[in-house]
Amino acid sequence: MLDLGIDVLFKGTNFLRLLQGLWVSIEISLISVVISILLGMIVGVLMTMNNPILHVALKVYLEIVRIMPQMVLLFIVYFGTTRVFGLDLSAEASAIIVFCFWGTAEMGDLVRGSIKSISKVQFESAYALGMDKVQTYWYVISPQTFRRLVPLSINLITRMIKTTSLVMMIGIVEVLKVSQQIIEANRKISPNAAFGVFAVVFLLYFMVCWPISRLSNYLEKRWV
């Protein structure tokens, strides 16, 4: 029979460790997404205001996020700050900071886009019916913004989960790191383990991300 090397996963607590590693990835993504959504809403609303200074500052911020590889940001925050500012940031905290820095920019842009995409006549139709500003935002504008935002932010979660594979570079033991450890430990007895273990990791990522992206597709079709 073809030796895929999957058997190493059934040794000891190996599979459990892999799941724990996966949970680390999910946990970092979830915390980052929640914070990013909250901060992103603030940034998004700020971006729709016509303040020139704010506008430039936020533009620069967005550009930095776009240009810098996440890995570089991770190194700067984790290794850099410890040295320069004498801060003792844990690897997890550094990862969350970097992911939020990135996620807030993305969410901010999405929020700005959704608010801008609502036509002026929507506001005026509400005003013409006698609604005040608060009622207009509450019943007419926010629900539309929110509907556009939900599928997009779900999308961001899957991208974050995928990108968490980078955090092992600063020593966080997430799913990919665990699989490497398992493969290393079994190199002698099960040289094919690399294939089997990574295949399982692939499946794990898939099982987490696929339902999320289906959900986002579904919501997009239903609401837009």
Partner 1 sequence: MSELLKVTHLHKEFGKNVVLKDINLTVKKGEVVVIIGPSGCGKSTFLRCLNGLEELQDGVITVDGLPVEANKREITKLRQKIGMVFQSYELFPHMSVLDNIILAPLKVQRRNKEEAVREATELLDKVGLLDKKDYFPRQLSGGQKQRVAIVRALLMHPDILLFDEVTAALDPEMVHEVLETMLALARSGSTMLIVTHEMAFAKAVADRIVFIDKGEIVEETTDVADFFKEPSTPRAKKFLSTFTYE
| Residues making contact with partner 1 (CB under 8 A) | 119, 121-122, 124-132, 135, 139-140, 143-144, 147, 223
Residue tagged 């940001």 (tokens)? 73
Q: Which is nearer to partner 1, 136 or 216 (CB)?
A: 136
Q: Is 7 exposed, middle or buried (0-12, 13-18, 19+ CB in 10 A)?
A: middle
Count of C-beta atoms within a 10 Å radius of residue 193: 24
Q: How far is the CB of 76 from partner 1 (least distance, A)?
A: 42
Q: How far is the CB of 106 from partner 1 (least distance, A)?
A: 24
Q: Which is nearer to partner 1, 110 or 176 (CB)?
A: 110
Q: How far is the CB of 160 from partner 1 (least distance, A)?
A: 28
Instruction: Specify whether the CB–CB gap between 97 and 77 falls below 8 A.
Output: yes
d(CA 41, CA 111): 6
Which of 154, 156, 174, 157 has its CA nearest to residue 165?
174
Q: Which is nearer to partner 1, 26 or 141 (CB)?
A: 141
Which pair of tokens denotes residue 141? 């504008």
d(CA 153, CA 168): 24
Q: Which is nearer to partner 1, 127 or 198 (CB)?
A: 127
Instruction: Specify whether the CB–CB gap between 88 and 82 falls below 8 A.
Output: yes
- Name residues whose C-beta falls within 8 Å of residue 153's C-beta, 6 or more positions apart in sequence: 33, 37, 107, 110
Q: How far is the CB of 217 from partner 1 (least distance, A)?
A: 18
Q: Which is nearer to partner 1, 132 or 184 (CB)?
A: 132
Q: How far is the CB of 115 from partner 1 (least distance, A)?
A: 15
Q: Which is nearer to partner 1, 69 or 130 (CB)?
A: 130
Q: How far is the CB of 138 from partner 1 (least distance, A)?
A: 9
